[in-house]
Structures are given as C-alpha cells and as structure tokens.
Amino acid sequence: MSQHATSGEPRPGESHLNHSPHHSDSAATAPSAADIKRWRQYLADERAEAAVYRDLAQSRSGEERAILLALAEAEGRHEAHWLQLLGTHAGRSRPASLRSQFLGFLARHFGSVFVLALAQRAESRSPYATDPSATPAMVADEQIHEEVVRGLATRGRNRLAGTFRAAVFGANDGLVSNLSLVMGMAASGVGSQVVLLSGVAGLLAGALSMGAGEFISVRSQRELLAATRPTQITLAAAPALDIEHNELLLVYLARGMSREAAEHRVAERMGLLDCDCDPSLSLRPEIPETEDQHEAVGTAWGAAASSFCFFASGAIVPIIPFLLGMTGMAALVASAVLVGLALLATGAVVGLLSGTSPATRGLRQLAIGLGAAGVTYLLGMALGTAVA
C-alpha cells in the first residue's frame, strides 16, 4: 500500500478537494444544509473515534500503544478534511453518534477486547465509500483501519479463546438444558416442588459434568499437542551413533524436512559439518519458539472452572421463579422469559467479540434455546398423558 493511501495526504500538485469529481462543483457553490449537517456529523465521529484510540492506548504499551496512537493520528487527518470543507460552517461541536459515544465510554472505563471488536465493526461500516465528499485516500484509510483493528482484536481474542469458549458453551448449555428439563417435568404434570428439585439436580449434575468434561478435553488436547512437539533426544544420542549406520536422517525426514536439510542437520549433529553451507539449513525447528504455541487452547483448570461456574450461572436462571415461590404456568412463562433474555445477552456477546452483528447472534441463540425447550415441553406433555 502506498504512503499516499495510508496517510490521506494529496499527491503533489493536488489538493484534498480535487480527489473527488464533485469537489470542483462544491468549491463553486455553497454547500447545502444537508451537506453541512452530514459533514458536521462526520467531524464529530472522527473526533470521537480518535479519542477512543487514544483512550485505548493509555492502557497499552509498546507496539500496541504505537499502533493505536497512529490510528488516532489518521482519524485526526480525516477530521482536518471535514473542517476544511465546512470552513465557517463548522460551528459548535456536534455530539458524536450513539455508537461512537458508547465506544468511548467502554474505552475509558474498560479498555477491553470488546472495544476493539466494536471498533472493528464500526470501521467496516464507514459511509465514506459512497460519499463523494470523502477522498479516495480516506476510503482506503478506513478499509485499512478495519484490518489494523482486526489484528489488534485478534490478539485479545486469542488470549480469551480457550476459557471464553468454555464459558459461552457452559452458560448456554446451562440455560437451555435446565430450561428444557424444567419445562419437560412441568409438562408431565408433576408438582412445582418436584420441578424445582429436578432443576437443582440438573444444575449440579450438569455443572459437574461440564467442568469434568472440559478439564479432560483441554488436558487431553494439550497432551496431544505436547506429544507432537519434537524432543531434544537427537542432541544427546548423536555422539554415540554409528557414523556409517544410523537412523538420524530418518528422524528429520519424518519431521517433514527435505532430504538436503535433513542431511545437513545430521552432519551438524554428528559434528561432521565443515563447509560454507546455506545458513537457513542450520535452523532448529525442533526447539519451540515459545513456551506455548497453542495459547488458544487455554488451561485445563481454567476451562473446567469457567465451564462449571458459567453452566451453574446459566442453569440457575430457569429455576429462579420456582425459588421465588411461583408455581404453574406463570412460573414456566417467567422462566422462559428470563432464559430468553439471557440467551440474547450471550449471543450478543459472541457477536461483539466476533465482530459480527450482536442482534443476529442473539436471535440465533434465542431461537435455538427456546426451540429445544419447546420440543422438550411437548415430549413432557406426551409422556405425562401416556403415564396417566
């Protein structure tokens, strides 16, 4: 990408206004009231977005801080463009859009990966691509900004991935499975006390099962990854090998190295290398570059604890009305409403972190959860009728 595209600066001999075929007309005629209103909104949003990046930079250090400050500087160049177009029409600062204000609030008080995920979505929905008043360089800037923010957000997602996955699955499993259990039992015709006891039993059994399952799953996955990581046995065994007949070459061929690289490595290990060879062949891929190359897996205890806690927190929601003394259909309706709200919330969180629509993800979670509970309710009715 050229420096011009990233910086938003005009090419030699050009002004900002000449980047658009409409700007010559704009220079000759006064901007309309609609133009002024739109430009002032853009100005307010650019200022708010620059402030978001500066606020995020306060809680970062090193490279991430420098990247965020560079993004804020780029938004400042866009701000200057709208100020130039507005001229004397700039007037008092308008409030930023609700989305930009919400981002600013999160950045000032939390500074989490949620802010970067929201910022990524905001950059992807920039209106500049269809606005003739924005320069092509500004359009390119916004597209590149989305990728920059995506990269920053990915770092946070990787740190959250393992434990977050267990937490989301645990909460949703608790919500859906216990709501289904409660509705199935209630539909079968048993008393509210039995329904409550069934819900409590489902909470405890499910939380323990989820915690144990996640612990075993993550521990097993880490053991499999550890088993695939090469050891340093070649360093210890090489001196004792028969120079004429040894299988050291097979070790490196089995690891996927080319024959040339494998033969070079064997010569290194056997102390027979005495040549001016390609230095790239002397790399040691069997030595891990980092202590943990699979950070997205998470830790077994972290996954188990979060899965247990979030399953329990989800599973308690359907039985809250029964714990408060409600009975009958009123308790079931209240339970379904509470679970529905919780499903919307968890789905929205997943949408925010993935940079997609929170509403779409929330409605998907709601449909799946209530659909499963509805099927269980019908099965409970059928079972109750058959038993009766």
The 3-class secondary structure across the chain, one letter per residue, is CCHHHHHCCCCCCCCHHHHCCCHHHHHHCCCCHHHHHHHHHHHHHHHHHHHHHHHHHHCCCHHHHHHHHHHHHHHHHHHHHHHHHHHHHCCCCCCCCHHHHHHHHHHHHCCCHHHHHHHHHHHHCCHHHHCCCCCHHHHHHHHHHHHHHHHHHHHHHHHHHHHHHHHHHHHHHHHHHHHHHHHHHHHCCCCHHHHHHHHHHHHHHHHHHHHHHHHHHHHHHHHHHHHHCCCCHHHHHHHHCCCCCCCHHHHHHHCCCCHHHHHHHHHHHHCCCCCCCCHHHHCCCCCCCCCCCCHHHCCHHHHHHHHHHHHHHHHCHHHHHHHCCCCHHHHHHHHHHHHHHHHHHHHHHHHHHHCCCHHHHHHHHHHHHHHHHHHHHHHHHHHHHHHC
Distance of alpha carbon 172 from the chain centroid: 18
Given a contact cutoff of 8 angstroms between Cβ atoms, the answer to whether 133 and 22 are in contact is yes
User: From CA 135, how far away is CA 144, in angstroms rounded?
Assistant: 14
- In tens digits, the chain (388 residues) has pLDDT values of 333 434 444 443 344 444 444 444 444 467 888 888 889 888 888 888 888 888 888 877 888 888 888 988 888 899 899 888 888 887 777 777 777 777 777 777 665 666 777 777 777 778 888 888 888 888 888 888 888 888 887 776 666 655 566 677 778 889 999 999 999 998 888 888 999 999 999 999 988 888 888 788 777 777 776 665 555 555 555 555 554 445 667 767 777 778 888 777 777 766 665 544 554 554 444 444 444 444 445 577 877 787 788 889 999 999 999 999 898 889 999 999 999 999 998 888 777 666 667 788 889 989 998 898 889 889 888 887 765 5
Q: Of 134, 157, 180, which marks where a domain is finished? A: 157
Residues 277 and 331 occupy one common structural domain: no
Residues 207 and 338 occupy one common structural domain: yes
Is 276 within the bounds of a domain?
yes
Residues 334 and 370 occupy one common structural domain: yes
Q: Terminus-to-terminus CA distance in the chain, angstroms?
A: 74
Q: Of 157, 187, 206, which marks where a domain is finished? A: 157
Residues 9 and 117 occupy one common structural domain: yes
Is 171 within the bounds of a domain?
yes
Q: Of 139, 157, 175, which marks where a domain is finished? A: 157
Is 104 within the bounds of a domain?
yes
Query: What amino acid occupies position 287?
Result: I
Is 219 within the bounds of a domain?
no
Is 290 within the bounds of a domain?
no
Residues 170 and 267 occupy one common structural domain: no
Residues 241 and 92 occupy one common structural domain: no
Is 306 within the bounds of a domain?
yes
Residues 17 and 99 occupy one common structural domain: yes
* 130 to 49, 126, 136, 251, 344: CA distances (angstroms): 20, 9, 10, 58, 33
Residues 40 and 105 occupy one common structural domain: yes
Residues 20 and 138 occupy one common structural domain: yes
User: From CA 271, how far away is CA 253, in angstroms rounded?
Assistant: 19
Given a contact cutoff of 8 angstroms between Cβ atoms, the answer to whether 179 and 335 are in contact is yes
pLDDT in the model for residue 342: 92
User: From CA 385, how far away is CA 380, in angstroms rounded?
Assistant: 9
pLDDT in the model for residue 334: 94
Instruction: Give the CATH number, domain containing residue 139.
Output: 1.20.1260
Is 56 within the bounds of a domain?
yes
Residues 305 and 264 occupy one common structural domain: no
Query: What amino acid occupies position 144?
Result: I
User: Structural domain of residue 343, as residue ranges?
Assistant: 163-214+299-387
pLDDT in the model for residue 317: 94
Given a contact cutoff of 8 angstroms between Cβ atoms, the answer to whether 297 and 225 are in contact is yes
Is 266 within the bounds of a domain?
yes
pTM beyond 0.85, yes or no: no
Report the number of distinct structural domains present in the chain. Answer: 3
pLDDT in the model for residue 245: 45
pLDDT in the model for residue 362: 86
Residues 56 and 168 occupy one common structural domain: no
pLDDT in the model for residue 3: 39
Residues 74 and 96 occupy one common structural domain: yes
